[in-house]
Structure 1
Amino acid sequence: MPGTVWTDRLAELGIKLPSVPPPAGAYVPAVRAGSLVFTAGQVPFVDGVLAATGKVGAEVAPEEARKHARTCALNALAAVDALVGIDAVVRVVKMTGFVASAEGFTGQPTVLNGASELVGEIFGDAGRHARSAVGVAELPLGVPVEVELVVEVS
Structure 2
Amino acid sequence: MTVVSVEARLAELGITLPGVAAPVAAYQPAVRSGAHVYTAGQLPFVDGALPVTGKVGDGEGLVDPATAADLARTCALNALAAVRSVAGTLDGVRIVKVTGFVASDPSFTGQPAVLNGASTVLGEIFGDAGTHARSAVGVAVLPLDSPVEVEIIAELPA
Separation in structure 2 between the aligned mates of residue 33 and residue 2 of structure 1, nearest angstrom: 30
Q: Post-superposition, which runs of at least 4 consecutive aligned residues in structure 1 deviate over 4 A?
A: none
Q: Percent identity?
A: 64
User: Conserved in 1, the CA contact under 8 Å of 2:7 and 2:91?
Assistant: no
Structure 2: how far apart are the matches of 1:89 and 1:34? 15
Report the Cα offset of residue 53 of structure 1: 0.6
Flag the structure with higher strand content.
Answer: 1
- Corresponding residue number in structure 2 for 1:10: 10
Q: Match of 1:150?
A: 153
What TM-score comes out, normalization by structure 1 length?
Answer: 0.96
State how many pairs are aligned.
Answer: 154
Matched, 1:104 2:107: yes
Cα offset, 1:52, TM superposition: 1.1
CA distance in 2, matches of 1:98, 1:67: 14
1:113 corresponds in structure 2 to 116
1:32 is the counterpart of 2:35:
no
Aligned ranges 1:37-56 → 2 under 5 Å: 37-56=37-56
TM-score, length basis structure 2: 0.94
- After superposition, the C-alpha distances for 1:91-144 in whole angstroms (9 at most, x for unaligned) are 100000000000110000000000000000000000000000000000000000
| DSSP-derived class of the 2:85 partner | helix
Shift of 1:90: 2.6
Is structure 2 residue 140 aligned with structure 1 residue 132?
no
Contact preservation (8 Å) 1:89, 1:151: no
Q: Deviations over 1:6-62 (max 9, x none)?
A: 111101111000011100000000000000000000001001111111000052000
* Backbone CA RMSD of aligned residues: 1.3
Unaligned runs of 5+ in 1: none
Matched, 1:74 2:56: no
Query: AA paired with 1:7?
Result: E
Quote the offset at 1:85 in angstroms.
Answer: 2.4
Equivalent position SS for 1:80: helix
Distance between the aligned counterparts of 1:69 and 1:86, measured in 2? Answer: 22
- The answer to whether the 8 Å contact 2:83/2:90 transfers is no
The match for 2:88 among 75, 85, 89 is 85
